[in-house]
Amino acid sequence: MDSQFWIKAWKEGRTAFHQDKVHGKLVEFFSLLGAEGGQKILVPLCGKTKDLIWLQDQHLHVHGVELYEEAVKAFFTENNLSPVTVSKTPDFSEYKYRDIHICQGDFFKLQGPETFDLVYDRASLVALPESMRKDYAQVITRVLKKKGKYLLIVYDYDQSKMDGPPFSVKENEIYSLYEKAFSIKLLDMKPALQEGSRLSAMGDGIKQNVFLLEKK
């Protein structure tokens, strides 16, 4: 799976992963991040999620990373956020409005180390095939500060019954990817009933699992 897969999905409107409201699990479990005003939170593969605005309202510096430039532009336009400043680095086009900063480019080129206090991942790890998830986890581990917390939401289902993305990421894989650098706690495991018709059609056959990780 390469970048063109996601660019094509955005262009063709195959964006069932996007929600027009703040994600309920973020609101429910946000307090467990222990966030303090002024901290920097990373939102990988952010698309145009409303979660960015909600996180800014919690007095955080919000840093999204998104591959598709039109999704970044749409986020600011649809939320009436202006003026937006745009700057360039060798790897990213950087869009900024107040405390919301979105880097448009390849997430795997994100620089560190230990840049962020917090990470929120609602639809990023599950967007990647298994062959890419180890590299993704290495980026997260590199850019998150020691004692930094990471709210991770994934799906767990029989992959043979539905093609990803979103892909199934089981609990044992979370441990395989992260246990060397993080303590890991499963917070919630419930059917994914409000994640779009494609997922909810699987009923109890698909779980939405929420984890809280803390970097050692």
DSSP, collapsed to helix, strand or coil, labels residue 101 as strand
The yes-or-no verdict on residue 100 having pLDDT over 90 is yes
The answer to whether 150 and 119 have CB atoms below 8 angstroms apart is yes
pLDDT of residue 56: 98
**Confidence check: pLDDT of 9 > 80:** no
Structure-block tokens of residue 44: 């990988």
Mind listing the pLDDT tens digit for each residue in 63-92? 999 999 999 999 999 999 998 999 999 999
Residue 191 or 37, more confident: 37
- Tell me the mean pLDDT in the region 4-24: 68
User: Is 11's pLDDT higher than 70?
Assistant: no
Specify which residues 191 forms β-bridges with: 207
pLDDT per residue over 206-216, tens digit each? 899 999 999 99
Q: Cβ contacts of residue 30 below 8 Å, gap of 6+? A: 58, 151
Q: What is the pLDDT of residue 151?
A: 98
pLDDT band at 15 (very low <50, low <70, confident <90, very high): low
> Which is nearest to 116 in space by CA: 101, 97, 129, 105?
101
Task: Write out 169-181 in H/E/C secondary structure.
Answer: CCHHHHHHHHCCC
- 191 pLDDT band, cuts 50/70/90, is confident
List residues bridging with 54 in a β-sheet: none
How is residue 174 written in tokens? Answer: 């979370």
77/161: higher pLDDT: 77
Average pLDDT over residues 135-142: 97
Q: What pTM does this model have?
A: 0.92
* Mean pLDDT, the chain, integer: 90
Position 5 confidence tier, pLDDT thresholds 50, 70, 90: low
Domains and CATH numbers, the chain: 19-215 (3.40.50.150)
Determine the number of helices (DSSP H) and then strands (DSSP E) in the chain: 7, 9
Q: What are phi and psi of 189, to 5 degrees?
A: -150, 105
